[in-house]
């Protein structure tokens, strides 16, 4: 059986006390309310003791009160779960009954049916009506709260289930929306990429079209420039041909004049030699006659010793000992040079003349333009540096050009000789590297050596070696003499002596580097033997002046080291002759401009600089390395 629920149909307040207390009262508030209730009950004096029988309040005053209804919930153990699931609980109605007086006794019969109710003592006790009412109200409140809690829990469960279902459906809708958006984004990306590809294709097409247009414009410009350059080149070529013809005519005229002078000088020399021989023979006869007559044998020795002192020559143990210089000491000669040197020079100049004439005939009979070969050879020569790879490559390229069948070799050799000598005029050239290139090229094209030396002799007569004596009877002025020995004229004005000496020094350095160049497996057609002969001829025939001093100093700086290694003590003897004779004569002239050159020669001999290898003689392995090796 379940709990009993009492429902009051009377007024909710009894004697000013609330029958239905607040369910949310605190314990202190409830205690306070009970104390108030007890105070009010004490003042009414309705009952005097706990077990006093009183009438119920609803029966006072002769009034018959309304009966109360006893209602009990019917619980079926079998249907508990089904009853819990419902929102409303079934109430079982009970019978209404009236009781005037109820006596509560714990000793009542056990057969009473109301003993089964827990609330029977409270219902049967008239003195505890308030407490019974409060208890019933508390029980009713508890039941109501439980019902509300169950109702709220059921509602919460329902709401939670609905919320879960709503969340699930919302998630499904979100997933569907996400998929649809992804599909839409893919379509948009595809369309965007298609538009980008189309735009890129259009841009590339426009760029290609612009490039083609620019290329066409550049091609037209290049063709126009090429046509202009071709016309300009033809005009320059025509002017150059005219200048060459004019220069050739002048050279031929000059050559003829030189030949005429040389013939006259040769005749004069022969006449002087014959006169000298006759004078010498006459002197000897007079000396012999005087010796026979007067017994003065010393007279002949003085005359012959004076003559031999004038004609003293430098003798060496090499091929230079055969050099003859008897015909170069005559006061009537224009040139001072050894006969063998003059003969070699004449032979080389003759070869150069024949080569130029043959080339002129080739150019006249052919309209072919050789300017390209000339510019190519000139560029290769200007690019020569003191590096092994550079020397090899430039030498090979020059040999290929000299052997090119499209250009006659005589023309290539003439261009090579002229351009190389023009390059040698600059002090900034690399003399040792130039010597290597000359030896490598002429070893494969031997005809180029004599032509090159002939051009070098024409540019610098001290490479013969040869010195021109100034004579007023031949030269009208000093300017004419300077032009004859190689001074250049620019704008009607001769260059300064210092500029001439600088160019002279450059030529002599290249010549000295050439004669001392030795390459393993390669023959030098103008090697150390020729350098030794040049030094002997120089000391036998040339006077001591500023031109010869610069020439000798430059030659020793380049070739002295190699000459000493070859000739040892004989070279030292030549240096002693230079110190005792050449430098003494040079100092006697007291030329201020020669101070530096004189000091350099003295230092070279005194400090034995010939024992030290000159800088640049060993070619470098590469431009980035300071190491140098023998070629």
In the block, tokens 């369309």 appear at: 191
The tens digit of pLDDT for each residue in 333-373 reads 688 899 999 999 999 999 999 999 999 988 888 888 888 88
The tens digit of pLDDT for each residue in 401-419 reads 999 888 899 999 999 999 9
Over residues 167-175, mean pLDDT: 92
pLDDT confidence of 275, banded at 50, 70, 90?
low
Whole-angstrom CA distances from 321 to 24, 249, 324, 534, 535 are 151, 40, 8, 11, 11
Residue 539, number of CB atoms within 10 A of its CB = 22
Over residues 453-479, mean pLDDT: 90
The answer to whether the beta carbons of residues 539 and 574 sit under 8 Å apart is yes
pLDDT at residue 310, rounded to an integer: 33
Name the H helices within 486-592: 497-516, 528-541, 546-567, 569-577, 583-589
pLDDT at residue 612, rounded to an integer: 92
pLDDT confidence of 117, banded at 50, 70, 90?
very low
Residue 77, number of CB atoms within 10 A of its CB = 5
CATH 1.25.40.510, the chain: domain bounds: 326-629
The tens digit of pLDDT for each residue in 1-10 reads 444 444 444 4
In the block, tokens 């209602």 appear at: 71
* Higher local confidence (pLDDT), 446 or 128: 446
Q: What percent of the chain shows pLDDT beyond 90? A: 39
Tokens of 595: 């101070």
Beta strands in 308-377 (DSSP E): 335-336
Tokens of 406: 């499209």
Taking Cα atoms as reference points, which of 534, 529, 568 lies closest to residue 548? 534
Taking Cα atoms as reference points, which of 244, 468, 242, 235 lies closest to residue 342? 468
User: If residue 333 lies in a helix (H) or strand (E), which one and from where to where?
Assistant: none
Residue 499, number of CB atoms within 10 A of its CB = 13
pLDDT confidence of 218, banded at 50, 70, 90?
confident
Over residues 419-445, mean pLDDT: 90
Report how far residue 364's alpha carbon sits from residue 92's, in angstroms, rounded to the nearest whole number.
Answer: 151
- Give the chain's mean pLDDT: 76
The tens digit of pLDDT for each residue in 526-561 reads 999 999 999 999 999 999 999 999 999 999 999 999
The answer to whether the beta carbons of residues 381 and 619 sit under 8 Å apart is no
Buried b (16+ CB within 10 A) or exposed e, 605-627: beeeebeeebeebbbbeeeeeee
pLDDT confidence of 451, banded at 50, 70, 90?
very high
Taking 90 as the threshold, does the pLDDT of residue 628 lie above it?
Answer: no
pLDDT at residue 25, rounded to an integer: 61
pLDDT confidence of 575, banded at 50, 70, 90?
very high
Tokens of 129: 């009506």
The tens digit of pLDDT for each residue in 582-601 reads 999 999 888 888 889 999 99
Q: What percent of the chain shows pLDDT beyond 70? A: 71
Over residues 226-249, mean pLDDT: 81
Whole-angstrom CA distances from 171 to 121, 160, 163, 180, 462 are 61, 16, 12, 14, 111
Tokens of 409: 């070799």
The tens digit of pLDDT for each residue in 132-152 reads 888 888 889 989 898 888 898
Q: Which CATH class is domain 326-629?
A: mainly alpha
| Distance spanning both ends of the chain, measured CA to CA | 132
Over residues 244-268, mean pLDDT: 76
40: which strand partners?
none
pLDDT confidence of 318, banded at 50, 70, 90?
very low
In the block, tokens 């004076």 appear at: 306
């Amino acid at each position: 059986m379940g709990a009993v629920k009492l429902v009051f149909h009377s007024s909710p307040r009894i004697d000013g006390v609330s029958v239905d207390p607040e369910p949310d009262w605190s314990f202190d508030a409830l205690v306070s309310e009970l104390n108030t209730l007890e105070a009010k009950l004490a003042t009414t004096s309705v009952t005097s003791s706990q077990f006093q029988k009183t009438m119920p309040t609803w029966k006072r005053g002769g009034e018959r009160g309304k009966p109360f209804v006893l209602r009990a919930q019917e619980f079926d153990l079998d249907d508990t779960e089904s009853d819990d699931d419902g929102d409303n609980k079934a109430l079982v109605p009970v019978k209404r009954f009236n009781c005037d007086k109820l006596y509560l006794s714990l000793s009542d019969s056990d057969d009473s049916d109301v003993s089964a109710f827990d609330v029977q003592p409270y219902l049967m006790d008239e003195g505890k009506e308030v407490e019974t009412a409060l208890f019933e109200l508390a029980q009713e409140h508890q039941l109501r709260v439980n019902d509300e809690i169950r109702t709220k829990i059921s509602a919460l469960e329902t709401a939670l289930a609905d919320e879960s279902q709503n969340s699930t459906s919302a998630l499904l809708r979100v997933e569907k929306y996400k998929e649809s958006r992804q599909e839409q984004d893919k379509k948009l990306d595809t369309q965007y990429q298609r538009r980008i590809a189309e735009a890129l294709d259009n841009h590339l097409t426009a760029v290609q079209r612009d490039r083609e247009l620019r290329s066409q414009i550049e091609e037209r410009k290049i063709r126009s420039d090429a046509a202009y350059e071709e016309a300009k080149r033809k005009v320059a070529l025509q002017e150059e041909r005219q200048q060459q013809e004019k220069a050739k005519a002048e050279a031929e005229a000059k050559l003829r004049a030189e030949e005429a002078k040389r013939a006259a000088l040769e005749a004069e020399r022969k006449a002087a030699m014959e006169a000298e021989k006759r004078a010498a023979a006459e002197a000897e006869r007079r000396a012999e006659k005087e010796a026979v007559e007067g017994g003065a044998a010393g007279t002949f020795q003085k005359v012959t010793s004076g003559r031999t002192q004038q004609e003293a020559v430098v003798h060496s143990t090499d091929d230079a000992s055969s050099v003859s210089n008897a015909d170069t000491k005559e006061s009537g000669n224009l040139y001072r040079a050894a006969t063998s040197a003059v003969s070699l020079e004449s032979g080389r100049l003759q070869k150069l003349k024949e080569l130029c004439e043959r080339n002129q005939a080739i150019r006249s009979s052919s309209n072919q333009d050789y300017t390209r070969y000339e510019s190519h050879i000139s560029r290769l020569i200007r690019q020569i540096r003191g590096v092994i790879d550079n020397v090899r490559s430039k030498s090979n390229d020059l040999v290929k050009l000299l052997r090119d069948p499209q250009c006659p070799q005589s023309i290539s050799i003439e261009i090579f000789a002229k351009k190389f000598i023009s390059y040698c005029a600059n002090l900034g050239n690399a003399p040792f590297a130039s010597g290597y290139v000359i030896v490598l090229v002429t070893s494969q094209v031997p005809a180029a050596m004599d032509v090159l030396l002939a051009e070098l002799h024409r540019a610098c007569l001290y490479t013969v070696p040869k010195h021109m004596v100034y004579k007023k009877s031949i030269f009208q002025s000093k300017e004419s003499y300077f032009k004859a020995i190689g001074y250049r004229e620019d704008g009607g004005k001769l260059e300064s002596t210092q500029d001439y000496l600088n160019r002279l020094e450059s030529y002599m350095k290249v010549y000295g580097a050439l004669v001392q160049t030795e390459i393993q497996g390669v023959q030098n057609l103008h090697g150390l033997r020729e350098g030794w002969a040049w030094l002997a001829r120089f000391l036998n025939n040339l006077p001591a002046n500023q031109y010869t001093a610069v020439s000798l100093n430059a030659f020793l700086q380049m070739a002295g080291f190699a000459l000493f290694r070859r000739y040892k003590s004989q070279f030292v003897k030549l240096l002693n002759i230079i110190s005792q004779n050449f430098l003494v004569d040079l100092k006697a002239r007291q030329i201020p401009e020669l101070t530096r050159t004189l000091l350099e020669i003295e230092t070279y001999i005194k400090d034995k600089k010939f024992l030290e290898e000159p800088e640049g003689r060993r070619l470098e392995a590469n431009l980035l390395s300071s190491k140098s090796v023998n070629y």
